[in-house]
Amino acid sequence: MDPVVVVHGGGASNISKDRKERVRQGMVRAATEGYNILKQGGTAVDAVEGAVTVLEDDPEFNAGRGSVLNVNGEVEMDASIMDGKDLSTGAVSAVRCIANPIKLARLVMEKTPHCFLTDQGAAKFAASMGIPEIPGEQLVTERSKKHLEKEKQEKGAQKADCQKNLGTVGAVALDSKGNVAYATSTGGIVNKMVGRVGDTPCVGSGGYADNDIGAISTTGHGESILKVNLARLTLFYVEQGKTLEEAANLSLGYMKSRLKGLGGLILLNKTGDWVVKWTSAAMPWAAAKDGKLHSGINLDETTIADLP
Ligand SMILES: CC(C)C[C@H](NC(=O)C[C@H](N)C(=O)O)C(=O)O
């Protein structure tokens, strides 16, 4: 089976011109990394972890370095990953002082009898796995500091339809053996309460992967996504025989009409068809398949190029 990888860089308001280029490049780098892993015989799990790691390391995105700040000005991150082969899943929430939460989520999946570790327990586990602790300030950028300041000035009551220029990241992949996987990682929502956990680490909301159906990674207003279980809901429609396009429209439409919640998703089925959809103003994305790289940010623009 020909491998496929699709990545997203969050639901966003309209992105400024100079940032757009950096965001686009980040998407291309991540999709290329994921695709190369698959081409070299890596698994779908390897590919989504690799793609998301690239984006966690990129300060343009709301994950890893560049994460949005909580009310105390600190970075607290959520991430999850799932292997569609056996439905194994790993997640971490409210983790601080590590560079790559998605790697920790994968270790939870593979090295513990559990699915989900949080806060101090997750930190202890990270240390026991040899993941270096870094100063929390290393994850903070000038942009994220300004963003929090602005939010506090505007006393930003967090509305379900709030649209900020953020950049939660995610990936879905299909490998040559027919396995699918997803990974999603985020700093959450700016000015959030300490200890707030969003949809991203919750399997069924922030993503889902099942070889019998497909894989999905979501972004958007976490409280809304949690309430509708956006990821599993979308795959449910796929299971029921809807096209990918219909499934994405139905689940995002339900979240919008029922809760005024906005978001976006990348969706891949077991035969390698994919779709990207969002109800936020924009969503950076890229997809690599058959040696071609498709990418876009706004509705009206899709670029297709040859992969290196
Ligand atoms: C306003 C939305 C569309 C922006 C979007 N946020 C998230 O995805 C946050 C994540 N789901 C959570 O709630 O923790 C982003 O970061 O791009």
Q: Where are the domains of the chain?
A: 4-306
The pLDDT value recorded for residue 143 is 92
Cα(177)–Cα(86) distance, integer angstroms: 14
What is the number of H-type helices and E-type strands within the chain?
8, 13
How many angstroms separate the CA atoms of 55 and 66, rounded? 10
Q: Residue-wise pLDDT tens for the chain (308 aa)?
A: 899 999 999 987 778 888 899 999 999 999 999 999 999 999 999 999 999 999 999 999 999 999 999 999 999 999 999 999 999 999 999 999 999 999 999 999 999 999 999 999 999 999 999 999 999 999 999 999 999 999 999 865 554 444 456 799 999 999 999 999 999 999 999 999 999 999 999 999 999 999 999 999 999 999 999 999 999 999 999 999 999 999 999 999 999 999 999 999 999 999 999 999 999 999 999 999 999 999 999 988 899 999 98
Count, residues in the chain: 308
Neighbours of 162 (CB within 10 A): 17
Ligand 1 atom index nearest CA of 78: 14
Is 114 part of any known ligand binding site? no
Number of neighbours of residue 254 by Cβ within 10 angstroms: 16
Active site (annotated) includes residue 168: yes
196 in a known ligand binding site: yes
Strands, DSSP E only, in the chain? 4-8, 77-83, 88-95, 116-118, 169-174, 180-186, 207-210, 214-220, 263-269, 274-278, 285-289, 292-296, 302-306
Q: What ipTM does this complex have?
A: 0.96
In this prediction, residue 78 carries a pLDDT of 98
Looking at residue 160, its pLDDT comes to 41
168 lines ligand 1 (CB under 6 A): yes
As a whole-number percent, the residues of the chain with pLDDT over 70 amount to: 96
Q: How far apart are CA 121 and CA 18, in angstroms?
A: 40
Alpha-carbon span 298 to 151, nearest angstrom: 24
Owner of token pair 């984006």: 55
Q: Is the CB of 85 under 6 A from ligand 1?
A: no
Which residue out of 43, 53, 168, 200 is catalytically annotated? 168
* pLDDT value of position 18: 85
pLDDT value of residue 17: 85
The confidence score (pLDDT) of residue 159 equals 46
Q: Pick the closest to residue 283 from 172, 168, 160, 174 (CA basis).
A: 168
> From start to end of 73-168, where are the E strands?
77-83, 88-95, 116-118
Encode 224-240: b = buried (16+ Cβ within 10 Å), e = exposed: bbbbbbbbbbbbbbbee
Its CATH class, for the domain covering 4-306, is alpha beta
- Cα 11 to ligand 1 centre (Å): 6
pLDDT score for 3: 97
Torsion sign, CA atoms 58, 61, 64, 70:
positive
